[in-house]
């Protein structure tokens, strides 16, 4: 008598997925992303003019490249992203070697940084949405994505400052990447010290969008971490 074969559900069981071996925080790679982000932040904060240094851009491109690797982006998308990063870096280096004295190099640098900090948090969020278990890696990933959002808006303000003749914060103020970085993160966190007030409808609209984005990000990220947190056993 032939016994009917039983179909194993081992692979489709959510309990088995959650019981799969998990990598530690150090193995996840997000600590490296945060370290590169901190370095990029310091390099940008040291700029007393609206123009981004080549060194700061290189660190930002490396940060995005590492983020794509840590977020386990598909091989094709990862290769495409790396090719674009290399292309942007080559263009920037060529512009710097040419020693152009107009705003074109600064605009190219700001645009490249803005796109880089838009792609990176999207890759991180997509990676975390594919995960079943919420743990310490998710916490580090959320912090990294949140900081990248602030950096993205920093270079949005930076690009506006480079393309418009009026200072972002009114007459008598000096546009600098340091001030734009400070204003971006105080807006993202809705701290609002009030020492820098944006002038003009465009800058004010971007500031409102950043404040709303920052609050929504925190609410959604905290809700996901609290609801799905599973400490290591």
pLDDT given for residue 64 in this prediction: 86
Place of tokens 């009917």: 4
pLDDT of residue 10: 44
Query: How close are the terminal C-alpha atoms of the chain, in Å?
Result: 45
Residue 212 has a pLDDT of 94
Can you give the residue ranges of every domain in the chain? 28-228
The Cα–Cα gap between 23 and 86 comes to 30
In contact, 84 and 76? CB cutoff 8 Å: no
Alpha-carbon distance values, 5 to 2, 8, 11 (Å)? 9, 9, 17
Q: Which residues pair with 229 in a beta bridge?
A: 134
Q: Measured at the alpha carbon of residue 110, what is the angle toward residues 42 and 210, in degrees to the nearest 5?
A: 75
- Is residue 59 a contact partner of residue 39, using CB atoms and an 8 Å limit? yes
Report pLDDT for 60.
84
- CB 18 within 8 Å of CB 134: no
Which mean pLDDT values do the consecutive 10-residue runs of the chain (233 residues) have?
47 44 61 91 86 80 86 76 72 64 74 87 87 80 93 94 87 87 93 85 94 91 72 56
pLDDT on residue 26: 53
């Amino acid at each position: 008598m032939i016994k009917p074969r039983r179909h194993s559900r081992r692979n489709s069981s959510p309990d088995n997925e959650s019981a799969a071996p998990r990598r530690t925080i150090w193995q996840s790679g997000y600590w490296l992303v945060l370290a590169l982000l901190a370095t990029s932040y310091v390099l940008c904060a040291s700029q007393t003019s609206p123009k981004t240094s080549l060194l700061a851009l290189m660190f930002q491109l490396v940060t995005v490249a590492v983020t794509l690797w840590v977020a386990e982006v598909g091989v094709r998308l990862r290769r495409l992203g790396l090719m674009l990063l290399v292309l942007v870096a080559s263009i920037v280096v060529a512009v710097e070697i040419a020693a152009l004295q107009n705003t074109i190099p600064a605009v190219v640098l700001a645009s490249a940084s803005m796109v880089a900090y838009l792609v990176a948090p999207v890759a991180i969020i997509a990676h975390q949405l594919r995960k079943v278990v919420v743990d310490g890696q998710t916490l580090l990933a959320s912090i990294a994505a949140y900081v990248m959002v602030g950096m993205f808006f920093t270079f949005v303000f930076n690009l506006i400052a480079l393309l418009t003749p009026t200072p972002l914060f009114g007459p008598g103020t000096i546009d600098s990447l340091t001030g734009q970085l400070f204003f971006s993160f105080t807006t993202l966190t809705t701290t609002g010290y009030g020492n820098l007030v944006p002038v003009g409808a465009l800058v004010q609209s971007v500031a409102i969008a950043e404040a709303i984005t920052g609050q929504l990000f925190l609410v959604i990220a905290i809700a996901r971490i609290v609801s799905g947190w599973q400490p290591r056993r």
